[in-house]
Amino acid sequence: MEAASPAGPAAPQPRAPGAAGGLGSLLRGLQGQLFTWNILKTVALGQMLSLCICGTAITSQYLAERYRVNTPMLQSFINYCLLLLFYTVMLAFQSGSDNLLHILKRKWWKYVLLGLADVEANYLIVRAYQYTTLTSVQLLDCFGIPVLMALSWFVLYARYRVIHLIAVAVCLLGVGTMVGADILAGREDNSGSDVLIGDILVLLGASLYAVSNVCEEYIVKRLSRQEFLGMVGLFGTIISGIQLSIVECKDIASIQWDWKIALLFVAFALCMFCLYSFMPLVIQVTSATSVNLGILTADLYSLFFGLFLFGYKFSGLYLLSFTVIMVGFVLYCSTPTRTAEPAESSVPPITSIGVDNLGLKLEENLQEAPSAAL
């Protein structure tokens, strides 16, 4: 047998055992930590939005019960004016395609429809309380979630898994538990003047909320948060101002203004402004569906504060309802959804990666890394 020539090809070096496995384990650990952190952040941001909604509910209830002030359109008008003064003015000083005039030339009619949907969604839900019961409003308002998921499927190409449907069902079960607690605690004392009209108003309002939220997710992920808020502020101010002059002139004229009423209006406007300003930030890192599931706890926060402010009766079912909703919310966020973009589309690419997409990217990188190491 001849000896191997020194000039021949070098023998392959043995790879350290477990190198690829160690890299995979490290990536899996990083993925788990990052995904857990994002879920916790999503939960915290969702509850921050719930507290903003709770603030609007408490101030509105104080105005209605203590001072007999029922002016939901005026309250919304003040919020839209704040958005106009802050975000629309900001767009006016932008340059290029982000400039206010450039946006109006290309898409003004689209934002008119969006502003109309947003204004009327707020108005219809509040108006429904005059016709139907608290239970009907709380239950039928959840109709917006399946509508939102359907619109996300067709408009945003979101693809859900079975676990997401289970999570939504768990959240709705929590809402049902909350409604049951209301009935047992004696809060269902309003039979309504025309339940059918009220229920129809709730369904319409919930559907318009879903349309507004899907448009919001589309705009903030593909265009910009400032454009959404600026255009909603502009057309929301115009539309709500016109509607205000038609439906609430007498109510506004009858208000006996003092510093307490003015302070409640200011508090409502600040809570609403914070809600509108922060919601696009949360949607950018999650989705409109997960945000709507997270803010289901807003009614519970209002109930908890109502125990001290309005003398509500406590029920252990409230705590159970809160727990069930949070379990469903975390369950929904724990599994990534998929986005099925069409092969040829004129839709602008997504400029921000939410928790769901981030999870998928990490999963893909995790599968590719050991192959690259080999």
> Is 14 part of a structural domain of the chain?
no
Ramachandran angles phi, psi of 209, nearest 5°: -60, -45
Condensed to tens digits (0 to 9), the pLDDT of residues 197-209 reads 888 888 999 999 9
Residue 174 domain-assigned? yes
Nearest alpha carbon to residue 355 among 278, 286, 281, 282: 286
Q: How far apart are CA 168 and CA 49, in angstroms?
A: 19
348 pLDDT higher than 90: no
Domain that holds residue 227: 19-366
Determine the residue type at 6: P
pLDDT at position 25 over 80:
no
**Residue 12 counted as domain residue:** no
Tell me what pLDDT residue 30 has: 65
Distance of CA 355 to the CA centre of its chain: 14
- pLDDT in the model for residue 35: 62
The answer to whether residue 10 scores a pLDDT higher than 60 is no
Tell me the pLDDT band of 342, cut-offs 50, 70 and 90.
Answer: low
CA 6 to chain CA centroid, nearest Å: 70
What average pLDDT does the structure give for the chain? 81
Residue 119 in any domain: the answer is yes
Is the model more confident about 261 or about 368?
261
Q: Is residue 351 part of a domain?
A: yes
Residue that wins the pLDDT comparison between 215 and 176: 215
Residue positions counted in the chain: 374
Answer for the pair 324, 11: CB distance below 8 angstroms, yes or no. Answer: no
> Is position 336 within any domain?
yes
95 assigned to some structural domain: yes
Write down the pLDDT at residue 236: 96
Record the pTM: 0.80
What is the number of domains present in the chain?
Answer: 1
